[in-house]
Chains A and B, each alone.
Chain A
């Protein structure tokens, strides 16, 4: 059974249609890349999954559990919103690290706050915090940042900051990790280190959704590609089909434009 089931998502900003009838599903341990030009609704779709935007229509289910249903009452939708969010992790284009915390603190903050809500936190305080600290260091080591745990975000390069952000998103062990153009804000020479980390996550069968402009990377890493244009899914399938042999004219045009501009 699919880990994520998205059905008929629609979203308007005022009278502007941003998403319409978006449906797809994702298997556990697979990576989905969403491609398309700016303004096609890719980012809004990710934001809907993370409950940063509320869709006007449609539903979202994770592991067969209905998390969002636009037809439900507002109070019902708001209930346990915090917990529902934890099914998804989010890596932002502009990192959004907390500047006043070190790399390690950025990674462990949310986990510490959640641990504080456990009933047995008071008795096992030290034990729990040590474990969180160890987990945080382990994640940063996995990102190749063992030497940077005590650094503040402004002391790190863009690529290092984004890797801290990935560790932070992984810390709460989300079912699905979302990336919103993770390399778009980076200098070209720094994109490689971030893509490498995402690739290794894919190799470990992390369930991921990646919104990206890195076409070669998408073809390489993703098990499934979605091409979006003007708020609708134009084409979806295996990378070999969508990128190499697109059926739709709009996909072909986008890919042609893309390869032309990347050759320049």
Chain B
């Protein structure tokens, strides 16, 4: 039984890791883009960003996931997500990426604004372009400042992947839960918890490493 459970959980973990990694890969740049948009000199764009962030942060991710997965099928008459597990996964990743990009954008904006104006001015008087100033001067200082709040969000993301169960994506929590339903045993639930703990444990070590790597400057 132990091996059956382990195999199922590893299977679920595979899906969880896919959701996690794809969401990160997509939401980090998207979040940076949103952060720029929310600092735009063009007011309509700023207001639009505020509205989007308000809606996305103000409603449950689970609700967003349900709407994104079932909505197109009901409105258009045909499902835009390909059938089966792949479609569920894609819908999950789209919903998660957009949701997390909004949270990240607020953290990034705070990080950018916490870099003193004098840094940008020093770049300007040295004849640097706006993008040179961002990539050569601001970015790394911003990254250093956002590592602690980002580690919080990213750890939350690991556990939020369990929400994908609502559209029947076979992820880690779904896998553990299914044994309770079919066999009436509870220990797989705790075993599932251990998987999450290990996952988050590894991430914590990684964040500590990044923080130490950025410790060389203040």
Contacts and interface: CB of A to CB of B under 8 A. Distances in A.
Given A99-B218, A100-B217, A113-B136, A90 B128 contact: no
B33 to A, nearest CB: 23
B124 A110 contact: no
B216 interface: yes
A135 to B, nearest CB: 15
Contacts of B126: 85, 109-110, 168, 172
A83 B116 CA distance: 24
B184 interface: no
Contact of A110 (B119, B121, B127, B141): B127
Interface of B: 116, 118-119, 121-129, 132, 136-137, 140-141, 144, 216-218
A154 B217 contact: yes
B127 A83 contact: yes
13 contacts: A50-B124, A50-B125, A52-B125, A82-B128, A82-B129, A88-B125, A96-B121, A98-B136, A99-B217, A100-B140, A100-B141, A109-B126, A153-B218
Nearest to A178: B125
A254 interface: no
Contact of B127 (A94, A97, A100, A114): A114
Interface of A: 50-52, 82-83, 85-86, 88-90, 92, 94, 96-100, 109-110, 113-114, 152-154, 168-169, 172
A85 B121 contact: no
Given A96-B121, A152-B216, 18 more contacts: A50-B124, A52-B121, A52-B124, A83-B127, A88-B125, A92-B121, A92-B122, A96-B118, A100-B216, A100-B217, A109-B126, A109-B136, A110-B123, A113-B128, A113-B136, A152-B217, A153-B218, A172-B127
A237 B102 CA distance: 58
Secondary structure at the B interface, as helix, strand, loop or mixed, is: helix
A99 B127 contact: no
Contacts of A110: 123, 126-128
B133 to A, nearest CB: 10
Nearest to A93: B118
Given A82-B129, A152-B217, A96 B122 contact: yes
A86 B121 contact: no
A92 B118 contact: yes
By CB atoms of chain B within 10 A, which of A100, A114, A169, A172 has the most?
A100
A15 to B, nearest CB: 23
B127 A86 contact: yes
A76 B140 CA distance: 34
A110 B137 CA distance: 11
Nearest to B116: A96
Nearest to A114: B127
Contacts of B118: 92, 94, 96
Nearest to A106: B122
Contacts of B122: 90, 92, 96-98
B127 to A, nearest CB: 5
Q: Which 7 A-B pairs have the closest CB atoms?
A: A110-B126, A96-B118, A96-B122, A90-B125, A154-B218, A99-B217, A100-B217
Nearest to A154: B218
B11 to A, nearest CB: 43
Contacts of B216: 100, 152
